[in-house]
Each structure stands twice: as structure tokens, then as C-alpha cells.
Amino acid sequence: MLPDDVMRIIAGIIIVLTALPLHEYSHGFMADRLGDPTPRSQKRLTLNPLRHFDPIGGLFILIAGFGWAKPVLVDMQNFKNPRRDMALVAAVGPLSNFVFALITMALFKIAHGIMLLYPSLVFLPLLQVLYFMAVINLWLMALNILPIPPLDGSKIVGAFLPERTHQSLMRYEKFGIIILLFLIFTNRIRGPIGFITAQVMRFIETLTLPIDMIFVNLHG
């Protein structure tokens, strides 16, 4: 069995090539469906990781477990209901990470069940990578739903705020990245992210419990 740090890096590389492009594609796809041609004109309606790759964000994935891709640009003026539609565009990004984590944990449970039936150390590296992929995706989801501009959570919350409050929040958007980096470098963000990740992981464990039961019955 390889060290956890090695397997986490391998999982991070896979995330950079798959989950991050899916996250940004989801934003672009929803914006396109809601009437904004900007993502399509910038050729961002693709899962090609090269179109979405951000070197600094990718590096953060490898060393910190959470990072980002190159943001998809969206023009709110093309939406019929700008605040509501922007919230929908923002929400599908974290949702894609949740779905990715759910699928990855389902694969983890299947691989674990097969190992239960046919014991072999060959499965252990696969289990490690799948587990870390699920956790990293939940970290990404948890990070993005925080209501700190320019994260997706600020746009989701913005749809429910009074107009004056929303405008005030948006005025501070340019300082949001500074606040976010401060929270990351001072390690103050791991508490909220860890709490959200743990709660959602419990929910996913519940959803995938039938897979465990199938293999327990087969083994029994």
C-alpha cells in the first residue's frame, strides 16, 4: 500500500483532469441554457481540462486538497432574471462536485465489496484513490458554497438578499479573494470546510448503504 500522501496527490491529479473541468462546464452549460452565449463564445462548453486549467488552482489541489479552475465568465445582462439565474449558474458547480463524490463513493463501495468477496491487496491503492477523490470533491463543494465573494455561495445567497444588501455585498467582491486567501493561508477555513464535508459524507454513506448490504449478503 502506497503512503496516503502519494495517493492523495494521484487523486488530486485526477480531480484536476475531471472534476474541475466538470465544475466549470456545469457553470457554462447552465448559463448557456439561461440565455448567455458568453461561455460558448469562449469555447468553455467542453470537458477538455486544458480549457479550464488554472496552474495555481491546480497546485492548491495537490498541496491543500482544494483549489480551483479558470472561472467561466458569465454576463448577467443576458439573463431574464439576473440574480435568480446567476444563483442557478453558481449552484450547479458545487452540485457537480456532490454528484462526482457520490459516484466516486459508490465505486469505492463496489470495489470494497469485491475485495470482501475476493481478498487481495491489489484493490487497496484503488480504494485509497477513490476515497480521496470523494473527499476532495466534497472539500471543493464545501469551499464553493461559502458565502464569500467571488465563491459560488455568495451568488447563491445573493438571490435571496434585499437589493440594497446584495449591492453592498457585490461592492466587496474584489476583496473577497484576499479574504479567502487569508483564510486559507492561516488555516482558518478548514474548520467550516471540514464540518460541511463530514455532514455531507454521512449523507452519502446513507445513500450508498444499499451497496454495502448487497455485498454483505453475498459474502454471508
> Quick one: three-class SS letters along 139-157?
HHHHHHCCCCCCCHHHHHH
The structural domain count of the chain equals 1
Residue-range definition of the domain harbouring residue 36: 4-219
d(CA 34, CA 55): 30
Please identify which of the residues 24, 163, 173, 205 carries the catalytic annotation.
Answer: 24
Whether 173 is catalytic: no
What pLDDT sits at residue 207? 97
Quick one: how far is CA 22 from the chain centroid? 9
Q: What is the pTM of this model?
A: 0.92
pLDDT digits (tens, 9 = 90+) for 187-218: 788 888 999 999 999 999 999 999 999 998 98
pLDDT digits (tens, 9 = 90+) for 145-159: 998 888 999 899 888
C-alpha distance from residue 144 to each of 47, 75, 141, 197 (Å): 19, 20, 5, 12
What pLDDT sits at residue 162? 83
What pLDDT sits at residue 69? 94
Is residue 29 within 8 Å of residue 52, measured between CB atoms? no
d(CA 6, CA 9): 5
Q: Can you list the residues of the chain whose pLDDT is less than 70?
A: 1-2, 172, 220
What pLDDT sits at residue 149? 83
Amino acid (one-letter) located at 76: M
Phi, then psi, of 65 in degrees rounded to 5: 90, -10
What pLDDT sits at residue 203? 97
